[in-house]
A and B are shown apart, each in its own frame.
Chain A
Amino acid sequence: MTANTGPASTGKKRLILNLFEMNCVSHITHGLWRLPGNNRERFNDIDYWVELAKLLESGGFDAIFIADVIGTYDTFRGSAETSIRQGLQIPNNDPSLVVPAMAAVTRHLGFGITFSTTYEPPFAWARRLSTLDHLTKGRVGWNIVTSYLPNAARNFGLDGEVEHDKRYEIADEYLDVLYKLWEGSWDDDAIIADREHNVFADPAKIRPIFHQGTHFKVEGPHLPSPSRQRTPVLFSATASGAGTKFAGKHTEVVFTGGPSAAFLRQTIANIRQAAVEAGRHPGDVKFITQAGVIVGRTAEEAAAKRAEYERLTDAEGYLAHAGLPFDPTTLAPEAKLKDVVDSDGGIGRWRSFDPERTVGEFLANFGDFSRFALFASGTPEEVADAIEGWLDEVGIDGINLTQFHSYDTARDFIELVVPVLRARGRLRTEYDPDETLRDRLFGAGDRLPGRHYAARYRGGAHLPEAWPTADPDFLTA
């Protein structure tokens, strides 16, 4: 049992290496689907995902991390026109359903799947994730999101976005329901499969959860039996106040970002502190960030590739993606962002952009990849140097590798960077066979540690034995 990211024998922190994906054409590098040889528009085709999964496993990637939204970016210039024209996350397909095909052709690759807690009942999602954890033999992670698109809210019958802190309150209860189902509803030894006495499962070791909260009422029991990890590896992406508390309590791998190394260091410190306050250890939370890498055999080759990617980048895609409630192309270039942007909600996920910048700088910046907080371009050694700096100086544990080109980005990384990182003790040379995703990331077994909040429900502890309100009609309806 060797943690991928714990201190290796070399004493060096190992890199968590994920590919950042989304089941759509234009995820986060807008305009680049047009690059020659780019496979992005094959996302409807299951072969795209299968080929990608095999490639990633050949290069020792820990996981493929699949983002998702359930609405359309339609605020920029008051319409979805820019998004639809550019393939900016529309059309987009469900992320969880390409996983089984990828699981069928791999043995080790992990899967981080994004799903929102705001609009769907928890019971079906808990079951789907358990099914996936069974199918993959414990290689599933869930990226918990609360959704931020107003159109998503209107797709699910609400008039508008649920307010930010309220979404986290719902998410907190949602997870409580899931922990009860995953950790508390079935004991590990509930399946007996005694052929002689015709007892498949022992009812005494399986129980309803009788959850009654503010937002959800769920009886249970959980329908799947315990999977390898029970609770999948819990990812979440956050930097906000409510999000920090949430991550401190729940998250195992925080997907974070920010405009600077200092910002990232502060986020990491804040969330580790929140984890400690929630009774966890600082090392119970790992941090990954989106990172761009453009590598070439020579500096010239890398520079040429970068120049081509930057040239095809489409700034308007980024503006629409930001969901900007204003059109910066109509604002005074010298105005500072902080003066025209509601830093709390208006730019949402773009809060990592420096509010001290001017509108003009902001607009000029899209075609310059230096704007990414974590970006490296150059020879394999230069790139590896940068990544080691992120690990040791910024303090992150891993990256979600941004794709400029599918599959060139992953293929280049595997061919050129992985060997260098392996030689430097930053990546393992092979997978441990039969290891779950959680065990690979933390090296402490398949299940959540006992100090995680979810563990309180194990063995049925903290679960009522009946509905709190005695209502005979309810139980026999």
Chain B
Amino acid sequence: MSDVTSPRPRPLHFAAFVMNTTGHIIQGTWRRPSARQTNFNDLEHWVNLAKLLERGKFDAIFFADVVGLYAPYRGDERKYFETGLQVPSNDPSVLASALAYVTEHLGIAFTASILQEHPFNFARRISTLDHASKGRIAWNIVTNYLPNASRNFGLEGLTKHDERYAWADEYVDVTYKLWEGSWAQDALRQDRASGLHADYDKVYRINHSGPRYSVEGPHLVSPSPQRTPLLFQAGASEAGRTFAAKNAEAVFITSPHASVAARDTADIRARAVTHGRQPDDLKFFQGLFVLPASTEDEAKRKSAELDKWIDWDGQLSHMSGSIGIDFGFDDLDTPIGEIQTEGVQSAVAWIKDLVPGRPATLRDVARLTASNVRIVGTPEQIADALATWQAAGVDGVNLINAEIPGSYEDFVEHVAPVLQRRGLMQSEYAPGTLRDKLFGRGDQLPGRHPAARYRGAFAPQPVTGASR
């Protein structure tokens, strides 16, 4: 716990946790008169938000995404449409260039599933955005836990959990080869006098051949400021942790308590070390919602008022549809019991952690998804709570909203100044790329990251089709 006599803390990092849809994490609040998240189809909605976040010195805007409907709830998908739960939803990546243009420092992180696009094309799109943003792009690497999403891409159903991570391993491997290995840093010459645009001897094919992908290359895009975008990841299962330990630079966690965050961040950092990385090569972002007011009583009143707008059945449906077990027909006092799922495994552990000493019920699930992550109080109290999270090993916050832009306006206006005064939030942006802003160690991945082994790894050879 931080207080005025402690040494000045390091600032936490802040990302706005949003989705290109109406109902992201907290359902039903789109109905409040001041809520504007139904405007998600409009570019201006996002441009204004990005400008607000940059004024407030947020590190990044973080777009979640799914490419299908959640698994049936009460027998079908009706609930998701009716409450606007992540459907309709739009592609987040195409917003990035516009948001990059209207901002100078804000990081732009977005989620993209390995399911939705071939890695060759995806790598190219990321590189394009990293150029357009001058190195401010982050990729949240996800597999897929929605059967409908699988069926949108020609599969019969959900790929087994561990197999999804094997798939992800190969997917990132292809992108690493393209981003780090295909072009030498000095390949692009652009010499008008000689007419030499790029040095042919420094552009390489990758010739990747694996179980799922076969990719010749070269990468079509010249090296962007970060080359590999900042790598976010969120899986908390066994396979997910291993993947994060190997690959992630920023890990999105949803710990129920700071103590769990302490345990999990230590675990993943330790695993990273076994993969040759250093503990501080990873930054952990905890998902939280804060509700500030000038007095504690006022904050509690606002919290109770917010609860009236929340669609609790929608909250339960989100969890139900994520883990792929239909709770929709069960009484709210039904214990959730032992759950085996190919869906989001960490969600089940999350609930159990929150309800120690008795079987968790569906009512707990509905309530906790919208209230556990909520910090209610004065800006000073919120700062105290955030300091507790920081002491548990958390480096940043992925800030959930009940309203766009209201939740972020409140934060920027009331909470950020207090955090900044206490040194818990940056007051000015550091120069440079997103990676350099976060780690202060340059624009590109450190040499001990697995992607770095492809630097210069593809021996100079003719890029030739005829030789095949």
Contact = CB atoms under 8 A, between A and B. Distances in A.
B152 A219 contact: yes
Interface in A98-129: 98-101, 103-105, 119-121, 123-124, 127-128
Contacts of B127: 93
Interface stretch (B22-30, B363-371, B383-391): B22-30
Contact of A96 (B76, B94, B153): B94
Q: Considering residues B38, B97, B221, which has the most beta carbons from chain A within 10 angstroms of its beta carbon?
A: B97
B66 to A, nearest CB: 8
Given A120-B121, A151-B465, A130 B38 contact: no
B233 interface: no
Contacts of A224: 41, 88-91
B94 A477 contact: no
A187 B404 CA distance: 27
Contact of B82 (A86, A127, A136, A201): A201
A351 B252 CA distance: 53
Interface in B371-410: none
A93 B156 contact: no
Given A97-B132, A314-B195, A195 B97 contact: no
Interface string B290-315: 00000000000000000000010000
A84 B41 CA distance: 39
B30 A41 contact: no
Interface in A163-210: 186, 191, 193, 195-196, 198-203, 206
Given A93-B127, A124-B91, A220-B152, A199 B463 contact: no
A39 interface: no
Contacts of A132: 94
Contacts of A198: 28, 31, 82-83, 311
B184 to A, nearest CB: 12
A131 B90 contact: yes
A261 interface: no
B41 A134 contact: yes
A101 B89 contact: no
A48 to B, nearest CB: 10
Nearest to A41: B190
B437 to A, nearest CB: 19
Interface in A73-95: 74-75, 78-81, 84-87, 90-94
A127 B91 contact: yes
A196 B77 CA distance: 21
Interface in B1-30: 20, 22-23, 28, 30
Contact of A79 (B133, B215, B462): B462
A426 to B, nearest CB: 32
B214 A91 contact: no
B83 A100 contact: no
Contacts of B82: 198-203
A98 B218 contact: no
A75 B465 contact: yes
A45 B129 CA distance: 10
A25 B192 CA distance: 12
Interface in B109-165: 116-118, 120-121, 124-125, 127-129, 131-133, 147-148, 150-154, 156-158
Contacts of B220: 70-72, 90-93
Contacts of A196: 31
A334 B340 CA distance: 75
A201 B467 contact: no
A131 B216 contact: no
B131 A44 contact: yes
A156 B120 contact: yes
B78 interface: yes
Contacts of A45: 131-132
B465 A223 contact: no
Contacts of A157: 118, 213-215
A128 B91 contact: yes
B88 A121 contact: no
Contacts of A80: 200, 203, 218, 463-465
Contacts of A462: none
A203 B84 CA distance: 10
Contacts of B38: 193, 200
B69 A221 contact: yes
A78 B222 contact: no
A138 B264 CA distance: 46
Which interface class (under 10, 10 to 19, 20 to 34, 35 or more) fits B?
Answer: 35 or more
A20 interface: no
B94 A128 contact: yes
B97 A101 contact: yes
A265 interface: no
Interface stretch (B53-61, B98-106, B428-436): B98-106
Contact of B197 (A26, A46, A151, A154): A26
Nearest to A202: B81
A156 B88 contact: no
B96 A100 contact: yes
A97 B118 contact: no
B335 interface: no
A46 B216 contact: no
A84 B93 CA distance: 28
A431 interface: no
Given A94-B125, A201-B87, A85 B198 contact: yes
B232 to A, nearest CB: 19
B53 to A, nearest CB: 16
A135 B124 CA distance: 22
A216 B117 CA distance: 14
B77 A203 contact: yes
A92 B93 CA distance: 18
A86 B94 contact: no
A218 interface: yes
Contacts of A96: 94, 125
B168 interface: no
A225 B81 CA distance: 11
Interface string A128-148: 101110111000000000000
B101 A101 contact: yes
A201 B88 CA distance: 8
Contacts of B222: 44, 91
A125 to B, nearest CB: 9
A31 interface: yes
Contacts of B42: 134-135
A50 interface: yes
Contacts of B221: 91-93
Given A41-B190, A45-B131, A200-B23, A131 B91 contact: yes
B49 interface: no
B123 to A, nearest CB: 10
Contacts of A123: 67, 116, 152-153
Contact of B216 (A99, A154, A199): A154
A298 interface: no
Nearest to B466: A78
Interface of B: 20, 22-23, 28, 30-31, 38, 41-43, 47, 67-69, 72, 76-78, 81-84, 87-91, 93-98, 100-102, 116-118, 120-121, 124-125, 127-129, 131-133, 147-148, 150-154, 156-158, 183, 188, 190, 192, 195-200, 203, 213-218, 220-222, 224, 311, 462-468
22 contacts: A26-B197, A74-B463, A85-B200, A90-B198, A91-B183, A91-B221, A94-B128, A97-B125, A100-B94, A101-B98, A104-B102, A124-B67, A124-B117, A130-B90, A155-B216, A155-B217, A157-B118, A224-B88, A224-B89, A225-B41, A474-B157, A477-B158
- 3 closest Cβ pairs, A-B complex: A477-B157, A87-B197, A200-B84
Given A79-B464, A103-B43, 8 more contacts: A23-B128, A41-B197, A70-B121, A78-B464, A124-B67, A154-B215, A200-B38, A224-B90
Interface of A: 23, 25-26, 31, 33-34, 41, 44-47, 50, 70-72, 74-75, 78-81, 84-87, 90-94, 96-101, 103-105, 119-121, 123-124, 127-128, 130-132, 134-136, 150-151, 154-157, 186, 191, 193, 195-196, 198-203, 206, 216-221, 223-225, 227, 314, 473-474, 476-477
